[in-house]
Structure 1
Amino acid sequence: MSASSTPATDKPFEDMPRVVFWIAVAFSSFQVYTAAFSPLSSQVVRAIHVGFVLLMIFTLYPNFFGLRAKALGWILGIVGFVTSFYHWIYESDLTARAGEMTDFDMVIGIITIVLVFEATRRMMGWALPLICSIFLLYGLFGEYLPGLLAHRGYGFDQIVSTMSFGVEGIYGTPTYVSSTYIFLFILFGSFLEQAGMISLFSDFAMGTVGHSKGGPAKVSVISSGLMGTINGSGVANVVTTGQFTIPLMKRFGYSPAFAGGVEATSSMGGQIMPPVMGAVAFIMAETINVPYVEIVKAAVIPAILYFLTAFWTVHLEAGRKNLNGLAKEDCPNPWAAVRLRWYLLIPLLGLVALLFSGYTPLFSGTVGLGLTVILIFGAAVISGASNNALRYLFWVLLGFACMGFIAFGVITFFVIVAFLVAVLALRRGKKDVLSLAIKAMADGARHALPVAIACALVGVIIGIINLTGVAAEFGGQVIAIGEENLFLALFLTMITCLVLGMGIPTIPNYIITSSLAAPILLKLGVPLIVSHMFVFYFGIMADLTPPVALAAFAAAPIARETGLKISLQALRVAVAGFVVPYMAVYSPALMLQGDGDILDVVYIIFKAILAIGLWGAGATGYLFKPLNWFERLFAIAAAGFLVAASPISDQIGLATTALFLAWHYLDSRRARTASA
């Protein structure tokens, strides 16, 4: 497993030095405070956000080219943290002399660039820093390149100014999103996980499908999908739900590689599962300047189809290998699990309600986090109360908090929340609950590190692209290749996403590819959101694609199988998912875009389900009975005709689908009769 593929979140929190633990708590406290009260400008918040990230990465990962240099790590981390305050202390001066660099500005700018590159290398390996270095070198020396790639030339001070100051480099849109929406939603998921949301989702999934054919694998799909509603990190899903689902699948007959592939595929879907999608969704909303709810609306049907694909594939695999589920009596009662922990759903439902009511993700995430804190303490009080008085107190205070939010806004809400937490903590003396809340804050800060440092470094790419205009030139060349063939342009975009995904995470993958390819697709007539979702979708699929598949390698130690074998099985599980983005481009109604009515949406969903069903049968080699090679190819070909949106291809696809299903059903009945 490459360095770039090592999940940073695998390190247990018990190994965190105590000082770093409290730095993480301070980091989370700073983010919550600035989100709730906005006491600082956006530029200052971004700078201090990056400063905290540098401090934590250098202290948590002190290795320097194979040598453990703890003192050096602390020095670099403190330097990175202190330099971030330069933007706060000299904020007015930097604004007044924007573009005119002093010698001290140059020193701070160069130090910041070097530290961000080195922190990313320590956190994520060499791939992303090398790609960003190429763009940085292009900005410095691109004027000497031949032909169309040459630019007019930029001074060293102009490059440093763009990268280290202002809002087009390291502190650009990705860092803005990381320092606001992303951090809050990661913290939101961390609190819910600490409160027992994983147990709720696992018990519910076990109780609903655990006893069905192939039940253990279906549990993985459902529980990972539910986790995706609160946690947009695919790798985090693998290493949490996978600890339970992968051994369960192996115990009931699935191969280790297939079990790991199912978990990896299901977990990666969390990034496109509303309401809390992956960090890319928030970056996308800012990039194309649309409300976050529009991104959610575009993602909801493809997300359901993605998980339907995984669910259908594991069902067919269970039929092919004749794998049964758990005994009914061994499965928990799903509704008992809901009754026991129903209160954990309140923050999630509140978050969804606020998002769909038109509130910003920042506001919604802040209030959702406040509700989660209330419920963690409230659960402890209610479960241990010896009389009803304390329970009534809790619900009355919760009511006041909500009324304060409605009447006076988020500040009053958080004042009441703070009072409620203090009352409950003092009344119960629940040190374990307080430590749980503090641990959740440190946990959230730690999980935010790989996202935050990637967002900071890819700002280099965005800054160079905006400065030099290379995207327009590149786009013109690709349009020249694909201007008469939309499919070719889509295919080239997909390959770009998959190749980049071999070395870099989904966030920089999306930012790089969308900067280059999305404008091309827009000029070819693809709606704006659909073009960005196409790039986003295949950025996720890159984490399942060999030879470097991050989600598959994260599942490898749990499944005790090689990451390559797991990634090959993940492709089998997700193969039909490769079709959905293409269908959305040719029929934007699949993402609720365009001028179509409800019948258009129903029709495209019907076609997508048929295509997924046929593609899954062809990839698995089983439907009502095992399929031979000709039947598998025929099913895949029929599914292919359903992808395009032309009337003739639809007619051919529907006719061949009906022919295949009728013929295969009758053949399976003859086979059963003969065996009887």
Structure 2
Amino acid sequence: MNGVRRSGKVSKHAGLSGIAIPLMTRFGYTPVFAGAVEATASMGGQIMPPVMGAVAFIMAETLNVPYADIVKAAVIPALLYYFTAFWMVHLEAGRKKLMGLSADECPNPWTALKENWHLALPLAALVWMLFHGFTPMFAGMMGLSLTAILLLGAAIAARISHTAFRMVFWFGCGLGAAAFLEFGIVPVLGVITLLVAVNLMVKGGHSTLRALRNSLIDGARQALPVGIACAIVGVIIGVLTLTGAATSFAGFIVDIGSHSLLASLVLTMLVCLVLGMGIPTIPNYIITSSIAAPALLKLGVPLIVSHMFVFYFGIMADLTPPVALAAFAAASIAKAPPMRIGFKATQIALAGFVVPYMAVYDPQLMLQGAWTWAGVLYVLSKAVLAIVLWGGVAVGYLRATLTLPERLAAFAAAALLVSAVPLTDELGFAAAALLLLAHGWRTRGQAAVAA
């Protein structure tokens, strides 16, 4: 089971890496850095709304909360995660004096969107249903059905010469698909059946049907390991519960948390990382959420925050050496040592390790508890400033190369901003301001020469 699931993730990751990694190395980034960036960005897709990964849907079902609540809690941490990756790439480019494409060489995303906007319609419908009370299972089924209608209809519309007839054809398909709001899935299946019948008779329709069949087969193959994992994990959870191991571990975390919440969070993180190195993300979340998340809840951590905490570190396990599955997938294309890529990816994905702790101490970062927009902006500013400083520490560059005392000061300021101890925020902001001013003054001549 493990091998099946992980090989699927590797193939998907490798497909994306096959484009991004050669482009980055061509522009001057090292193979290790390029592989680490791609591994970090690929893993972040599981925590990025609006769709996220399969664990988000399982979390919504487990907690019996609307999927929109899961998305609401995940959106700010996900943006911080990708901001970290962007900032690391930006600093590395500055450190190595790399230049980007000229304006006339950059592709125009608006042109691509204008030409292929219709391909986003099934995704838009899926997101709309998820945010309007439909179950994830029904929303996914409808998204798949609408995708089938789009593909089958495109094969037929390409053979209609007159624009007016094509518009009437698409209007009829859209009307039949929209009928699900009133009559359920039956009219949608009727439209698909009719389109399949027409594709059997038009030129090129057989190739479209084969492509659709192969896509359904691939989807079933990817879903099968998920179902098997959930079934086997149910047995593991039952064993842990009946033997009392789960209760003992949860009690141990609670006992530690009564003396130090930070120590219990670190222990929970280590458990998630170790489990994630041996099993896929989904069973990792199910096990840790049934053992560790209730203990964090008893320590006063909000429900969704406690589950997000174990969810995030289950994902980070695929970036963390010694296993670092995503790093191994990137290493085969980057032609670089996988362990070096894993350590660099861990460095780039810093927000994935820090933000869950910040959310526990200040749930407003996940829009939980009695949050206000002022409070959210305040904790978000702390997180962004800490990421900026930690990026400088990791790369050794901000406006120019950082000296050793500047790197130490940046690390201390970032640590103060993350800490949840009285006066640490004030000290962190003051230290960050002094550091940035001193660094800007010291490098003003270098910046003028570079410009």
The TM-score with structure 1 as length reference comes to: 0.64
TM-superposed deviation, 1:664: 1.0
* 1:80-110: CA deviation from partner (whole Å, max 9, x where unpaired): xxxxxxxxxxxxxxxxxxxxxxxxxxxxxxx
RMSD over equivalenced CA pairs, Å: 2.1
The 8 Å contact of residues 577 and 612 in structure 1, kept in 2 or not, is answered as: no
Give the whole-Å Cα distance in 2 for the aligned partners of 1:638 and 1:323: 28
Q: How does 1:553-592 map to 2 (within 5 A)?
A: 553-592=328-367
Matched, 1:279 2:54: yes
Amino acid of the structure 2 residue aligned with 1:621: G
Partner-residue secondary structure (3-state), 1:583:
helix
- Count of residue pairs brought into register by the alignment: 450
Partners of 1:300 and 1:276 lie apart in 2 by 11
Residue 306 (1) aligns with residue 81 (2): yes
Amino acid across the alignment from 1:654: F
Q: Given residue 58 of structure 2, which amino acid in structure 1 is its aligned partner?
A: I
Counterpart check, 1:362 vs 2:137: yes
Larger of the two Rg values belongs to structure:
1
Note closer, same or farther for the CA distance 1:399–1:672 as it changes in structure 2 (3 Å cut). closer
Conserved 8 A contact 2:199-2:209: no
Shift of 1:672: 4.2
Picking from 232, 247, 251, the partner of 1:472 is 247
Once the two structures are superposed, what CA deviation does each residue of 1:233-279 show, in whole Å capped at 9, x if it has no partner?
6x455222111111111111111111110000000001111122212
- 2:312–2:352 Cα contact (<8 Å) kept: no
| Aligned-partner SS, 1:254 | coil
Task: State the match for 1:379 in structure 2.
Answer: 154
Match of 1:540 in 2: 315
Deviation of 1:428 (Å): 4.6
What letter matches 1:515 in structure 2? Answer: S
* Structure 2 segments unaligned to the other structure (5+ residues): none
1:251-266 map, 5 Å: 251-266=26-41
Could you list the structure 1 runs, at least 4 aligned residues long, displaced by more than 6 angstroms after superposition: none
Q: Distance in 2 between matches of 1:556 and 1:673?
A: 38
| Residue 206 (structure 2) aligns with | 431
Specify the alignment match of 1:628 in structure 2.
403
Q: Map 1:343-492; keep pairs closer than 5 Å.
A: 343-492=118-267
Which of 428, 436, 451 pairs up with 1:661? 436
Instruction: Describe the superposition over 1:213-248 as per-residue Cα deviations: whole angstroms up to 9, x where unpaired.
Output: xxxxxxxxxxxxxxxxxxxx6x45522211111111
1:593 aligns with 2:368: yes
- Describe the SS at the equivalent of 1:627: coil
Q: Deviations over 1:475-510 (max 9, x none)?
A: 112222221211111111111112222222212222
Summarize the alignment of residues 83-102 of structure 1 with structure 2, pairs less than 5 Å apart. Answer: none
Distance 2:235 2:90 in 1: 45
Q: Which residue does the alignment assign to 2:19?
A: 244
Deviations 1:422-445 (A, max 9, x none): 335534542221111111111112
Task: Show the 5 A alignment for 1:140-219.
Answer: none
Aligned-partner Cα distance in 2 for 1:377–1:369: 12
Tell me the amino acid that sits aligned with residue 331 of structure 1.
C
Q: Does 2:272 correspond to 1:497?
A: yes
* Matched-pair identity in %: 57
> CA–CA distance in 1 between the matches of 2:158 and 2:393?
51
Give yes or no for contact 1:576–1:616 (8 Å, CA) kept in 2.
Answer: no
The structure-2 alpha-carbon separation of the partners of 1:563 and 1:675, relative to structure 1 and needing over 3 Å to count, comes to closer
Asked if the contact 1:576/1:615 (under 8 Å) is kept, the reply is no
With the length of structure 2 as denominator, give the TM-score of the two structures. Answer: 0.94
Cα drift, residue 303 of structure 1: 0.8
**What's 1:519 paired with?**
294
**Range with bigger deviation, 367-376 or 524-533:** 367-376
Deviation at 1:333? 1.9
Per the alignment, in what secondary structure is the counterpart of residue 433 of structure 1?
helix
Deviations 1:10-44 (A, max 9, x none): xxxxxxxxxxxxxxxxxxxxxxxxxxxxxxxxxxx
Alpha-carbon distance in 1 for matches of 2:5, 2:196: 37
Equivalent residue for 1:267? 42
Q: Deviations over 1:303-342 (max 9, x none)?
A: 1111111111111111111112234333322111112211
